[in-house]
Amino acid sequence: MVRKWAFRGVFAYLLFGLVMYVYLYFLADSSLPNSLKGTSADPETFMNSRELMLSEEYSTIRNLLFFLSTPYEWVFYFLILILGVSRKFENWAVETTKFRFLQTGIYLFWLTLTSFIAIFPFQYISHTLSKRYNISTQSFSGWMKDEFTDFWVNYLMMFVIVTVLYWLIRRFPKRWWLAAWALSVPFSIFLMFIQPVLIDPLYNDFYPLKDKQLEEQILSLASKANIPTDHVYEVNMSEETNALNAYVTGVGSNSRIVLWDTTLNKLNQDEILFIMAHEMAHYVEKHIYIGIGIYLLFSFVGLWIAAKWMNRLVEKHSESLKVKKVSHLSSLPLFLLITSVLLFASSPLSNWISRYQEVRADRYAIELTGNKEAAISSFQQLSKVGLSQVNPPFIVKIFRYGHPTMLERLKMLEEYEGKEKQ
């Protein structure tokens, strides 16, 4: 029975991978509509032939890796369960100590380590691919340092979450999901509060913007938008990547506007001000808090579904899954499997909401700066430097894109300008 289920799981994964390969390389359409030929949305107007070829190659491989890595994680959790590995980890933990929190720590260490090793090939391929296409500038040693930092940060966070979660499952067998959701509200806000000052600095150095003249202009823009802020931060990402980015992070007094130094080095002043205006829009329109609210709604439904599915699967397939009770630590891979599937299934909706917010931020930035030319050139530079597809395939868009495609962003600017001229 175990061999049959293992074979079915691996076969389904390979079949899915083959389908996605055929779709991405032979069926997907990323061509530009004829109506946009020669416009600012046409990549041939701002990329040379080599850059066009590389952007298609790089994007297609990255898309394939995404659609292979996500179900690979599901197969991993499934095999960990049916092969009895998860139960073995739990037995080791129980035999080592009588204290439950130490049992959780031991079990979680072995599960996290096994997961790290299993997922590492995809991580390494992604890193080498970025190096080959000159996106990543990070050395292998620097990349491995970040990987190990990720390992311990994720382990410590999961230790806290899993310890509390399984205490709740034992304490409230029928309503543990509701209690877990209630506790996730302050925990999520706490994480967003400490991320800029405790977590992010583990990976990079953050410091106030060095260019004080530019900072003054950005702060003037912030004042125009009624945003109370005293500093703009830059981060030394050029040691890791050539890509461009800027973002808003944190909540309350710990909220920050952050610019990558690559953005400062490769965009002109007007383009940087447009990017900053876009990020300010997220603050003005309270997208961070709306995002928290949407996350809480999704997590409420997700935890309820996860609890229902876990109870049914353990009740009907306890022997096959090698899990006696939901309250046993050995059921954790089942919980992670279900939540991962739910996250993937809900990503088209969550990405659509995110894209809607990004469109509003784009429009706000144009209105605040009054510089559509800078908006166009900044989007073109983002595509060029990041080797991004201007018009990605539909399935890729709905599952991967939390931002509008560059085609949609540049088309919106073209139409916006058209309205202005009338």
The answer to whether residues 302 and 296 touch, using CB atoms and an 8 Å cutoff, is: no
Q: Which of 73, 279, 358, 408 is catalytic?
A: 279
Residues contacting residue 77 through CB under 8 Å, at least 6 positions apart: 333, 334, 336, 337, 340
Q: In this structure, what token pair is assigned to residue 123?
A: 């991580």
First to last CA, the chain: 70
Residue 420: CB atoms within 10 A of its CB come to: 9
Sheet with 206-208, strands from edge to edge, namely 206-208, 233-235, 256-260, 246-249
| CA Rg value for the chain | 24
Render 268-318 in DSSP notation, one character per residue. -HHHHHHHHHHHHHHHHTTHHHHHHHHHHHHHHHHHHHHHHHHHHHHHHHH
Residue 202: CB atoms within 10 A of its CB come to: 11
Residue 186: its pLDDT value, please?
86
Name the region of 251 (left: φ>0; alpha: ψ -120 to 50; beta: rest): beta
The C-alpha torsion from 312 through 318 and 322 to 326, rounded to 10°, is: 50
Clarify whether 239 is annotated catalytic.
Answer: no
Residue 253: its pLDDT value, please?
65
* CA distances to 161, 253, 310 from 178, in Å: 15, 30, 15
Name the region of 248 (left: φ>0; alpha: ψ -120 to 50; beta: rest): beta
Residues 222, 211: Cα–Cα separation, whole Å: 16
Q: Which residues of the chain have pLDDT under 70?
A: 1, 229, 250-254, 417-422
Residue 420: its pLDDT value, please?
44
Question: Residue length, the chain?
Answer: 422
H-helix or E-strand containing 75? Answer: helix 49-82
Per-residue pLDDT tens over the stretch 296-341: 899 999 999 999 999 999 999 999 899 999 999 999 999 999 999 9
241: DSSP letter: B
Residues 77, 129: Cα–Cα separation, whole Å: 26
Residues 389, 393: Cα–Cα separation, whole Å: 9
Residues 18, 11: Cα–Cα separation, whole Å: 11
Per-residue pLDDT tens over the stretch 398-411: 999 999 999 999 99
Residues 375, 366: Cα–Cα separation, whole Å: 7
Render 189-226 in DSSP notation, one character per residue. HHHHHHIIIIIGGGTS-EEE-S-HHHHHHHHHHHHHTT
